Structure 1
Amino acid sequence: MRPVIQQIGDSFVYSCTFDKAYTYEQFVPEHVLAYQISGQTRIYHQSGEMVLEEGHLLLARRNQFAKSIKIPAEGKKYQCISVVLSTTRLRQFSKANGIVCVEKYSGKKNILLRKDDFWKGYFQSLLPYVDRWSNVSAGLLNLKATEAIELLLHLNPGLETFLFDFADPYKEDLEAFMLNNFQYNAPLEYFARLSGRSLTGFKRDFAGVFKTSPATWLKNKRLSEALYLIREKKQKPRDIYIDLGFENLSHFYTAFKQKYGRTPAEVTTKK
């Protein structure tokens, strides 16, 4: 069973599942404030991994790749509610409050915030919206999203640069960037944005560095990594295909057979 992911207006996302685990990956285009109501979320991001336990509060910075596993607690469903702090909303807030940030943020992209009664009360106040969100006005939803920004600054004044640095990512070394991020199954526009380039500039620079197209390189890189993991590390295809950016196991088998002329199962018995 896939989880229920409910969008509440343009600022809130509620996720719920009874499944043992559910894995997915995503590009995070905006800042997100996520509260773990019950269960556990294991997050694998570009700088490592982290685990959200019940009651944990995560502030995640925009423009990053992430994969996560949702795990219900014993006898409970998995529940997590997130506030999307869009760049548009943050710009409006900074203008209205005279906040000017000239410093570029250079800290962690994912921060576990200290738990307290303020945050517990705030997220409890959002739960009634989950079942009755269609009857809630856009104005009220905007107030609740703005309240989250006010709370962040009140409880953590040092987050001002995190929130209000609107600069685009610096241009990355493209070869190093792709080698660190090839396993994410994301549109090319997201690779371009995170590497600090327009899509046109990304394709042009990519051809200069790798002498092939991004789509061809990504497919071949993922398959060569799969061959290494299966043949040398004795890993099973079903345990690695998602981690390597393939949409499903059938797609992985087809692509592998086309490239190597044999199935992953045959590779484990022949070198």
Structure 2
Amino acid sequence: MEGKKEVIFDRLVYSCQFRQHRGYEEFMPEHLLGFQLSGETHAVYPGGTAIIQENSVVLIKRNQLIRTTKYPAKDGQYKFISITLDQEVLQKYALENKIELDGKYIGDERMFFEADDFLKSYFSSLAPYVNKKKEATPKLAELKIKEAIELLLQSNTDFKQILFDFSSPYKIDLEEYMKQNYMFNVPVETFATLTGRSLSGFKRDFSQVFKTTPKQWLLERRLEEAHYLIQYLKQKPTDFYLDLGFENLSHFYASFKKKFGVTTTDVRKIEE
């Protein structure tokens, strides 16, 4: 049976899978609050990895890259429900509640935390909408979003510094960021945003740092890593090509042969 992903009401999305599923890279431009109903989500993001276990809440900060693999529970089902907390909603909430920040968030950078009883009850209250037993009016949907914000702030007062920081990403070290995140297969425009630059500014700075274009550098860097994985770690391309940012095997094989003048099989034979 195929998995499904559907919008229950504005900003609320329900995802269900019945087999292991590896997701593609996603750019999260807005904060996302999610609850793992069943199964597990294994997430890779800049700076680390996380396993979102059943009955856990995850808060993903905006302007993040993330790649996930979904694992069904023993009963064969994977269920995850998420709510987008976008800037428009949060700015309105901050205005209504006269919220002002006294500094930036400097706490724990972990992505997820255990749900308290209030948050568990909150996500349970969404079941009728997921099961289509009740339809949410726009007014009710807005109230449910506000309730999620209230419960987050109640669970951890530090989240105020995360949710209501409306500043744009600041300009960060381009070379360090790209060397750490080259394997994420996202558009150049996304890398520009994440490094605090306009597209033209990103391309200009990239050329100065790497002496080539982003597209060419990304391909070269991924191929060099692939060569290392094949030659020294004895891995097969089928095991890693997606993790290195290649969309399909045929493109990978053609690019590898063009750069190194040999096939991946030739590389393995040389070592043998």
Q: Which residue of 2 aligns with 1:155?
A: 155
Cα drift, residue 239 of structure 1: 1.1
**Letter aligned with residue 17 of structure 1:** Q
Are residues 1:37 and 2:37 paired? Answer: yes
Unaligned runs of 5+ in 2: none
Cα drift, residue 135 of structure 1: 4.3
Cα drift, residue 236 of structure 1: 1.1
Q: Is the 8 A contact 1:60 1:109 kept in 2?
A: no
CA distance in 2, matches of 1:99, 1:47: 30
CA distance in 2, matches of 1:81, 1:263: 43
Match runs of 1:174-185 below 5 Å: 174-185=174-185
Q: How many residues align?
A: 271
Q: Which runs of 4+ in 1 moved over 6 A?
A: none
Cα pair distance change 1:74/1:68, threshold 3 Å? same
Q: Is the 8 A contact 2:104 2:165 kept in 1?
A: yes
Q: Is the 8 A contact 1:38 1:72 kept in 2?
A: yes
Cα pair distance change 1:133/1:251, threshold 3 Å? farther
Partner of 1:44: helix, strand, or coil? strand
CA distance in 2, matches of 1:144, 1:255: 49
**Letter aligned with residue 66 of structure 2:** A
Cα drift, residue 54 of structure 1: 0.8
Cα drift, residue 41 of structure 1: 0.6
Q: Is the 8 A contact 2:19 2:76 kept in 1?
A: no
Q: Which residue of 2 aligns with 1:221?
A: 221
Q: Which residue of 1 aligns with 2:73?
A: 73
Partner of 2:270: helix, strand, or coil? coil
Q: Is the 8 A contact 1:91 1:164 kept in 2?
A: yes
Cα drift, residue 2 of structure 1: 5.6
Q: Which residue of 1 aligns with 2:239?
A: 239
Are residues 1:116 and 2:116 paired? Answer: yes
Cα pair distance change 1:198/1:106, threshold 3 Å? farther
TM-score (norm 1): 0.93
CA distance in 2, matches of 1:187, 1:134: 39
Q: Which residue of 2 aligns with 1:92?
A: 92
CA distance in 2, matches of 1:39, 1:231: 35
Q: Which moved more, 1:212-221 or 1:96-105?
A: 96-105
Cα pair distance change 1:55/1:134, threshold 3 Å? closer
Q: Is the 8 A contact 2:50 2:111 kept in 1?
A: no
Q: Which moved more, 1:224-233 or 1:137-146?
A: 137-146
Q: Which residue of 2 aligns with 1:10?
A: 10
**Letter aligned with residue 4 of structure 2:** V
* Identity within the alignment, %: 46
Q: What whole-Å deviation, never above 9, does each CA across 1:92-144 have from its counterpart, x for those lacking one? A: 11011100114122334444333222111111111222243994322222221
Q: Is the 8 A contact 1:31 1:59 kept in 2?
A: yes
Q: Is the 8 A contact 1:185 1:246 kept in 2?
A: yes
Please give the root-mean-square deviation of Cα atoms over the aligned residues, in Å.
1.9
Q: Is the 8 A contact 1:61 1:109 kept in 2?
A: no
TM-score (norm 2): 0.93
CA distance in 1, matches of 2:99, 2:5: 34
**Letter aligned with residue 59 of structure 1:** L
Q: Is the 8 A contact 1:21 1:70 kept in 2?
A: yes
Q: Is the 8 A contact 1:39 1:79 kept in 2?
A: yes
Partner of 1:269: helix, strand, or coil? helix
CA distance in 2, matches of 1:8, 1:260: 49
Q: Is the 8 A contact 1:35 1:55 kept in 2?
A: yes
